[in-house]
A and B are shown apart, each in its own frame.
Chain A
């Protein structure tokens, strides 16, 4: 098992467990860690990354909750066999959370109610139009 390519930064302000989750999730989603690859146990990973056991344990717990990894009793920790569904599920959850926080912040700043709805609808239309135009362009290109 090679060492995982995870770089932690103390100055970034992001908690260590969060950095581990993000980087491992990135490795898994991008395909650099194949499904059913064995991951180091949290006792093995802690001295590699120079973080406490609790940190690694928490990161693994979050990744497992997101469905990206699976702890098989007695055998170790593995990258989940089916990432697509789990990954998509997690990505959607993340997207929803982003929208929620953006809306909440916009409301805080004074954009609310009708003005907010109008703005959001305009944005969605613009996205759809852009998407339709690219579709047309692709169809054109095929002709």
Chain B
């Protein structure tokens, strides 16, 4: 078309073909936009690479024997640190931590949806940018999730392809008994008959990890992407979807392509049927007469809110995530082996302790009992500095607020860590892995400050350091001996790992401290 002839828009007839074409266009657009956002690319590459060991396990497929693993027999994972601590205790819930890690990975991927669905200024309505595009909301969200999943697939394929030869033996086994995955056996026999056995097995495992893994991950990412509000309703939907997916995996439904497709399709349909676009009618609370409080002066009030605010607003979290697991642990300790022969109480207590650590850590992100991140923020607009800006009209110095945020982060994360140590002690495990977790306290406080002030670079660096420290280093240290072979006598004790962990933690936790000192013009004040 050319020649400068402008035409008015035409109303197309409604048809499935139009929907598919529109969806495809949106998918391509999402791919292009994500390619232009380095943050999203980094996030997706990280999610893809780091979850490489997981997908196979989550599917319930034994890496060495390429067959389905029945519940509840577990797989020994190559983990260190807190996961192994909990693992030693969670003898009856072998998949719990893997499922948890997978869920986090899916959250990361959904977080990268930022660029293709930019945030609107008034998040009261849908937080999807440009809701007036000629595209249904369901087709839209599917296209966006597929777009980011494509990058995850590419990242994983790259890791598996280039690192696979070295890691292949570790991840996929070099046992000559290695069976080709049954569902793709025809691939080996029909398309690649000349391939030698390890290569065929490698190819089949590659396919398993990418194709089947995507079928597992897609509903999880979709669940995160369709949760516009992290309130009770959204969390319930998320929990139900996760339980369905992992429940199916635990009974082996995800180990075969046909059934995996069925599970993926039905869970996705469940998520999309009542798509929550955020424009929900506000729940009607009874109108209370507006009450005010006496002011003891702005600084005194700030101090009071900083200390009492979290307790006042988050008491239920402290009860549920703080007191309850501890009570469980004490009870399980008190009851003898005769009252609990299968050790179920112990495992329950262990699982509770396992979940308690991240839950209490998150309290560090709620200074004054207020959320740092405003509702409806997508990952692309994190670290916006909205929190300190909310205080801008009040008669307080921004530096005071920043320091209060950091202090709260330290105290909250510190209490969480002390609780972890206590739990580990009472449950009778080694204190070492709990001690390894100490830098997480400072990292959380640093992340909280960066989010409050709006420092994207240092905030992302701190998040990266946390991920590295929590997942990357333990896995690396576990896999390194396998990769380098026994030529390098890599001791499996904790010292090198601890040193590396503390170094990474320090590198991430120190830079945000700069905000506590003075009052620079925060980048959030521009525009």
Touching in the complex, A and B, CB below 8 A?
no
